Amino acid sequence: METGERESKNFIETIIENDIKEGRVTTIKTRFPPEPNGYLHIGHAKSIILNSGLAEEYGGKFNLRFDDTNPTKEKSEFVESIEADVKWLGANWEDRLFFASNYFDDMYKAAVRLIERGKAYVSDMSADEIREFRGTLTEPGKDDPYSKRTVEENLKLFEEMKEGKYEDGSKVLRARIDMASPNINMRDPVIYRIAHLTHQNTGDKWCIYPMYDFAHPIEDAIEGITHSICTLEFEDHRPLYDWVLIEAGFKKTAEDTPKQIEFAKLYLTNVVTGKRYIKKLVEEGIVDGWDDPRLVSIAALRRRGFTPESLRKFVELCGISKGNSSVDYAMLEYCIREDLKLKRSRIMACLNPVKVVIDNFPEDKEEELVVVNNMENDELGTHTIKFTKEIYIDRDDFMKEPPKKYFRLYPGNEVRLMQAYYVTCTSFEEDENGEVTVIHCTYDPETKGGNSPDGRKVKGTIHWVPAPYAVKATVRLYENIVNEELGVYNEDGSLNLNPNSKTVLTDCVIEPEILKAKPYDSFQFVRQGFFAVDPKDTTDNHLVFNRIVSLKSSYKLPTNK
């Protein structure tokens, strides 16, 4: 973490340091508690980096805990992907990988303790009746007619619920707090429900399951979590979090740990994060899976070529706050561009190639040139490339009839071939549609390396690929999948998709240095952007690249972060 570089502490650090100073904690313990019901996205990355970063910063511990208390939605497939994502981000849970479902016994005992203390009761009201009795923001709730049951009766009924005597929905366990509380969460919330379901971890052992608001604080307490960091929508649940821990005997006062701290969720513009929408995009074949490079699941970002460092930088720039706001997708692009700029080799690739014949270059001659991998970072070394009579350049770098201020190749003009020679266009051939098929040039043997002995200057420098050694590849260019300015949703609630979000170029050619590339490796294709080897679609004899980000952007870092 680069937290040391920041001048001011965020509000969570202030709370933690105060707890240390006042002796409430010695070792900080945080956790990331995903529900294994989908893939993690960029928002989760923020939570992971925040929680693990705080543990690191204060010499504490970070746990990974699967919050698998709801047996209906969870799948073990997601457990594996989540572990891989958290590990990739660099968050280290060491040997502390936990499952909330392993605490079901403790949760049951805590519920029994509440009943014994008169703090919970079994109700026979239906979900609808409970909702009706709950009241509104302006009206208090009404007492549950079953709330007068005795401790003995409640203990017996709760045990019978556990033994499977009752049907789903016929009984619940409610906390006895205050039906007139201004906080609706405190109006005798349901803490256990009956559900005859097989759980992926505990099988058929249980037919009653704890509700999130009851289970989560207990999970934190069992693991000795000191600071339970969650998102803002749980702010109104904090009194219940503290109530459960105090009444079930896990802590004495609200100030004691575990304590819940809320921060604002991360929202990004021009992306789709909702599971419901992503699922639909996957099912309709609009994206190719949960890791399609246009999505912002962590798996998708990794596949596209983002690095953990770039995501850490991004989270740091976003900052931690209490106010909801959304962050421009361009900031994420800024972070990856900055991260890769000095770290990656620069390679010449023609995404839309056209052949150039250098007429005065001998037929059977090849010249080996040494080129630096990254002009701004010597440590990346050099590689070689062969200069040959036939080369490719990008179609964009040639015009039959150039407009003013076009300095690249056109008939009669001289340009520099990057790291090689000056060439002058003498003529071109075209097909019956007017499409250029071959460009003819002559080269000046005196300009090797890209400088002329007579000091004459050329204004354009273009990249090239030696035709006999060109490696054919597929390159995919991406744009945002939705455009916020046009509205993310249509009137019928469907997504307003950008039809140009993916462009597939199948005739690209790249210099042979690229043959060393392995899945996930990334490069700068000079003058074009950063590209990564797609791990799914690349085969032993055909490379497929995803554009991570183009080189230029008008994006400026906000100064008021």
178 binds Mg ion (CB under 5 A): no
Q: How far apart are CA 524 and CA 531, in angstroms?
A: 6
Q: How far apart are CA 353 and CA 343, in angstroms?
A: 27
Tell the smallest beta-carbon distance from residue 41 to ligand ATP (Å). Answer: 6
| Three-state SS sequence of 461-520 | EECCEEHHHCEEEEEEEECCCECHHHCCECCCCCECECCCCEEEEEEEEECHHHHHCCCC
Q: Return the CA Rg of the chain.
A: 31
Query: Minimal CA–CA distance to 548: which of 292, 344, 305?
Result: 305
In this structure, how many other beta carbons lie within 10 angstroms of the beta carbon of residue 553? 12
Among 13, 35, 235, 479, binds Mg ion (CB under 5 A): 35
Q: Which is nearer to ligand ATP, 35 or 153 (CB)?
A: 35
Partner that binds at residue 265, options Mg ion, ligand ATP, none, CB closer than 5 to 8 Å by kind: ligand ATP
Q: Which stretch binds ligand ATP (CB under 6 A): 42-50, 153-161, 443-451, 524-532?
A: 42-50
Among 120, 222, 230, 298, binds ligand ATP (CB under 6 A): 230
Q: Phi and psi (nearest 5°) for 414?
A: -110, 135
Q: Which stretch binds ligand ATP (CB under 6 A): 19-27, 36-44, 312-320, 463-471?
A: 36-44
231 binds Mg ion (CB under 5 A): no
CB environment 267-278: b (16+ within 10 A), e (fewer):
ebbbbbbeeebb
Residue 201: strand, helix, or coil: coil
Among 10, 147, 185, 231, binds ligand ATP (CB under 6 A): 231
Q: Which residues share a beta bridge with 425?
A: 441
338 binds Mg ion (CB under 5 A): no
Name the amino acid, one letter, at 447. T
- Contact predicate 517/337, CB 8 Å: no
Tell the smallest beta-carbon distance from residue 35 to Mg ion (Å). Answer: 5
Phi-psi category of residue 318: left, alpha or beta, with phi > 0 → left and psi -120 to 50 → alpha = alpha
Partner that binds at residue 43, options ligand ATP, Mg ion, none, CB closer than 5 to 8 Å by kind: ligand ATP
Among 19, 25, 38, 56, binds ligand ATP (CB under 6 A): 38
| 445 upstream amide cis, omega within 30 of 0 | no
**Cα distances (Å, whole numbers) of residue 486 to 470, 493, 497, 501:** 41, 14, 10, 14
Tell the smallest beta-carbon distance from residue 38 to Mg ion (Å). Answer: 8
Q: Which stretch binds ligand ATP (CB under 6 A): 13-21, 37-45, 341-349, 483-491?
A: 37-45
Residues 210-229, mask of contacts with Mg ion (x by CB under 5 A): --------------------
Q: Which is nearer to Mg ion, 35 or 288 (CB)?
A: 35
Among 25, 30, 46, 111, binds ligand ATP (CB under 6 A): 46
Q: Which is nearer to ligand ATP, 96 or 265 (CB)?
A: 265
275 binds Mg ion (CB under 5 A): no
With CB atoms as reference, the residue minimizing the distance to ligand ATP is 43
Partner that binds at residue 199, options Mg ion, ligand ATP, none, CB closer than 5 to 8 Å by kind: none
Total residues binding ligand ATP (CB under 6 A): 14
Partner that binds at residue 231, options Mg ion, ligand ATP, none, CB closer than 5 to 8 Å by kind: ligand ATP
- Helices marked H in 142-205: 151-163
Q: Which stretch binds Mg ion (CB under 5 A): 30-38, 411-419, 431-439, 486-494?
A: 30-38
Q: How far apart are CA 190 and CA 212, in angstroms?
A: 10
81 binds ligand ATP (CB under 6 A): no
Output the six-digit token pair for 91: 């968050």
Total residues binding Mg ion (CB under 5 A): 1
- In eight-state DSSP terms, residue 114 is H
Among 30, 47, 388, 501, binds ligand ATP (CB under 6 A): 47
Q: Which is nearer to ligand ATP, 260 or 388 (CB)?
A: 260
Q: How far apart are CA 224 and CA 222, in angstroms?
A: 5
Q: Which is nearer to ligand ATP, 198 or 325 (CB)?
A: 325
Residues in 250-309 that interact with ligand ATP by CB under 6 A: 265-266, 273, 275
Q: Which stretch binds ligand ATP (CB under 6 A): 39-47, 250-258, 391-399, 466-474?
A: 39-47
Among 44, 149, 174, 344, binds ligand ATP (CB under 6 A): 44
- Contact predicate 218/110, CB 8 Å: yes
Q: Which stretch binds Mg ion (CB under 5 A): 32-40, 42-50, 107-115, 131-139?
A: 32-40
Q: How far apart are CA 427 and CA 407, in angstroms?
A: 17
Q: What is the rounded end-to-end Cα distance, in angstroms, of the chain?
A: 18
35 binds ligand ATP (CB under 6 A): yes
Q: How far apart are CA 156 and CA 115, in angstroms?
A: 10
345 binds ligand ATP (CB under 6 A): no
Residues making contact with Mg ion (CB under 5 A): 35
Would you tell me which residues interact with ligand ATP (CB under 6 A)? 33-35, 38, 43-44, 46-47, 230-231, 265-266, 273, 275
